[in-house]
Amino acid sequence: MDDLLLAWFAEHGRDLPWRRTHDPYAILVSEVMSQQTQVERVVPRWQSWLERWPTIEALAAAPTGDVIRGWQGLGYNRRALSLHRAAQHVASHGWPEDLTELPGVGRYTADAVASFAFGRPVLPVDVNVRRVSERTGHDFTPAAGQALMDLGKTVCLARVPRCGVCPLAAGCPSRGRRFEPSRRQGPFEGSFRQRRAAALRAVVAGSQPRDAEAVAALERDGLVRVDGDTVLLPD
């Protein structure tokens, strides 16, 4: 199955800019940005981020408030803090052998950087890779990582897979099946997440949010600091 998948990928794989580099910093940024964010939104933000902070040392030296400003619009702002702290760790100590030692880096992100940047023989398993592996029942090699991601994203879809165009359909035991929708996160509109985001946008814009509960949550996460009656970005 690997050969069929890789042949398909050579023709149909997505042309993503971080696939043209082996820089672990650039790949880490792409992986952190892509968590719960559509790749179409990530591409221009990844490019502008690297223009502003082209090296991990440059990001490590940046003020925390600037990093939070640079992240606006990507959502889940704690990812910006984790990326900043990871950069500071690497700038001070180098890349650890176990990449999960970096702040905010879980098993998948660690494996993605290890595979795509350092060439280690590990298969990064995200939701798309897991879906294809489970439906086909095949143990794919690490070389198939990016191909599996694209197949799961564009063909082996969560509910109604496009089996008619799948390169693995002939040998797939799940061919033709339809699947129940997985549990989705609650709506953003009207949620506490939306209130937090609105409060942080206000601080970034230089105004004062009036939502004390949201400000308290942002302060606990290190996204703002409160000086008397004034809410500010971290230094």
Q: Map tokens 């070389």 to a residue.
A: 143
Cα separation, 219 vs 211, whole angstroms: 12
**HSE-up (13 A, CA, CB side) for residue 173:** 7
Q: Which sign does the torsion angle of CA 200, 206, 212, 217 carry? A: positive
Backbone angles phi, psi at 180, to 5 degrees: -70, 145
Among residues 11, 31, 101, 134, the one annotated as catalytic is 31
31 is an active site residue: yes
The answer to whether 102 and 90 have CB atoms below 8 angstroms apart is: yes
Chain Cα centroid distance, residue 94: 22
Token pair listed for 86: 């990871």
The answer to whether 14 and 150 have CB atoms below 8 angstroms apart is: yes
SS3 of residue 230 by DSSP = strand
Alpha helices in 118-182 (DSSP H): 127-136, 145-154
Q: Map tokens 């939701």 to a residue.
A: 127
Cα separation, 9 vs 147, whole angstroms: 5
Residue numbers annotated as active site: 31
